[in-house]
């Protein structure tokens, strides 16, 4: 890694012990310098984590906006004609960020890695984004904050290539009702696969890595004893099956954040909205508080269409303000109880849900999107992300409320 080689040369040149090169402004971040190890084997874990001196420089500069107001962008949109439409949306509204697929819902990387990239031999690159660096340079010029989305444990591509990293049933990779396969959150090789992709995105210039599908498959509690898979370091755990899954998911998030520290990126995680209302989501291993303690940003998916009768709202999709406001009150209580509160940046709905049936949904437009934004703002939450799978966002919305 070039930043470590440079750091070694610098330390030898000035002839000082490693901890003494930490910037004075950074020293407050180290609780006890007496516990730091004096030796070159230590600075990757200790010094790099506490000092901007050794952070990787992508060559691009982005200022964090007053508050992130972003949209979801697929690899196809980022690499196609729709990208300029979305750029124009940013320039003509108060939107200021894009969440761009780097590893998609199938497990593909959305660009073809360079020949010298450690990702090249994986053969999972797709030419959706022809030149990600040029895309990021345009975003830098136009002050659009770039967030790289990485779908972690839902990964049909890796599962098919490596069934040993997945869940097997009757000799075949297990798939859910939508024919999607998952890889095993207990396995460190799976963790490192995703973190390697995250590191390359950070080196490109993405300012934040957003991990999605950080969980076991839905309903896993009903099949955890029938599927074939390994536990690795969790084999001897004394925890019950629910807590063992929670531990694995939480450990991945903490591990990923630590590995990404030298690259100066923020880490965020998408999580089911209902997870904030429970001690934990038992099947999938998501504990809202434990994940939140290990991220810079928590992004709950609180689309009104995705709730059943909740918070006393019989038809949530028809009452976007109320369902979002009631959720925000619950989330604030949970986050306020944490020692290190992350930024709350929920996903909200900019699509209609006719599959809910007549009388159970609204055609979402300006009024409904603004209602969700206002509900968040009324509860002290200024950041949010808009989801529309086709990346077609409602015109004329007042995004600042």
What average pLDDT does the segment 33-47 reach? 42
- 183: DSSP letter: B
Q: How confident is the model at residue 55 (pLDDT cuts 50, 70, 90)?
A: confident
Q: What are the angstrom distances between the C-alpha of 224 and each of 41, 80, 104?
A: 40, 41, 25
What average pLDDT does the segment 294-323 reach? 97
Is the model's pLDDT at 347 over the cut of 90? yes
Between CA 181 and CA 169 the distance in angstroms is: 12
Q: How confident is the model at residue 44 (pLDDT cuts 50, 70, 90)?
A: low
Q: Output 51 or 185, whichever has higher pLDDT.
A: 185
Distance of CA 264 to the CA centre of its chain: 15
Cα within 13 Å of Cα(285), Cβ side: 24
Is the model's pLDDT at 25 over the cut of 70? no
Residue ranges of the alpha helices (H) in 131-235?
132-141, 156-161, 188-204
**Looking at the whole model, is its pTM more than 0.85?**
yes
Q: Output 10 or 362, whichever has higher pLDDT.
A: 362
Q: Which domains does the chain have, with CATH numbers?
A: 1-55 (no CATH), 63-387 (3.20.20.80)
Is the model's pLDDT at 174 over the cut of 50? yes
Is the model's pLDDT at 2 over the cut of 60? no
Query: Residue 282: its pLDDT value, please?
Result: 80
Between CA 9 and CA 6 the distance in angstroms is: 5
Tell me the per-residue pLDDT of 182-211, one tens digit each, with 9 for 90 and over: 999 999 999 999 999 999 999 999 999 999
What average pLDDT does the segment 121-136 reach? 96
Q: How confident is the model at residue 401 (pLDDT cuts 50, 70, 90)?
A: confident
Average predicted confidence (pLDDT) for the chain: 89
Query: Residue 280: its pLDDT value, please?
Result: 85
What average pLDDT does the segment 253-279 reach? 96
Query: Residue 156: its pLDDT value, please?
Result: 98
Between CA 294 and CA 338 the distance in angstroms is: 11
What average pLDDT does the segment 231-237 reach? 96
What average pLDDT does the segment 206-221 reach? 97
Q: What is the dihedral of CA 117, 120, 125, 127, to 10 degrees?
A: 70
- High-pLDDT (> 90) share of the chain, %: 85
């Amino acid at each position: 890694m070039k930043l470590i080689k440079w750091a070694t040369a610098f330390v030898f040149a000035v002839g000082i012990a490693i901890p003494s090169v930490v910037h004075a402004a950074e020293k407050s971040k180290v609780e006890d310098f007496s516990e730091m190890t004096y030796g070159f084997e230590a600075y990757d874990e200790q010094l790099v984590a506490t000092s901007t001196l050794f952070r990787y420089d992508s060559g691009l500069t982005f200022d964090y906006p007053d508050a992130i107001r972003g949209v979801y962008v697929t690899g196809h949109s980022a690499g196609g004609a729709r990208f300029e439409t979305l750029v124009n949306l940013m320039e003509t509204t108060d939107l200021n960020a894009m969440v761009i697929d780097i590893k998609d819902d199938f497990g593909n990387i959305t660009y073809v890695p360079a020949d010298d990239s450690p990702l090249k031999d994986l053969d999972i690159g797709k030419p959706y984004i022809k030149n990600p660096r040029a895309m990021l340079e345009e975003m830098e010029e136009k002050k659009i904050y770039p967030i790289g989305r990485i779908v972690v444990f839902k990964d049909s591509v890796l599962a098919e290539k490596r069934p040993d990293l997945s869940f097997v049933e009757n000799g075949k990779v297990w798939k859910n009702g939508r024919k999607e396969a998952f890889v095993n959150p207990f396995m460190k090789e799976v963790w490192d696969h995703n973190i390697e992709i995250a590191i390359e995105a950070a080196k490109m210039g993405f300012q934040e890595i957003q991990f999605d599908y950080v969980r076991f498959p839905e309903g896993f509690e009903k099949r955890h004893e029938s599927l074939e898979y390994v536990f690795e370091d969790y084999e001897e755990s004394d925890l019950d099956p629910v807590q063992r899954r929670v531990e694995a998911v939480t450990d991945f998030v903490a591990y990923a954040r630590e590995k990404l520290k030298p690259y100066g990126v923020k880490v965020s995680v998408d999580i089911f909205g209902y997870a904030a209302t429970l001690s934990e989501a038992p099947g999938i291993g998501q504990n809202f508080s434990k994940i939140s303690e290990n991220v810079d940003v928590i992004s709950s998916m609180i689309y009104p269409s995705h709730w059943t009768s909740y918070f006393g709202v019989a038809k949530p999709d028809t009452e976007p303000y109320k369902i979002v406001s009631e959720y925000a009150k619950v989330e604030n209580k949970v986050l306020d109880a944490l020692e290190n509160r992350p930024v709350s940046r929920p996903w909200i709905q900019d699509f209609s849900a006719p599959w809910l049936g007549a009388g159970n949904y609204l055609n979402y437009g300006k009024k409904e999107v603004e209602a969700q934004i206002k509900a968040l703002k009324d509860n002290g939450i200024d950041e949010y992300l808009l989801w529309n799978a086709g990346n077609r966002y409602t015109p004329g919305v007042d995004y600042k409320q």
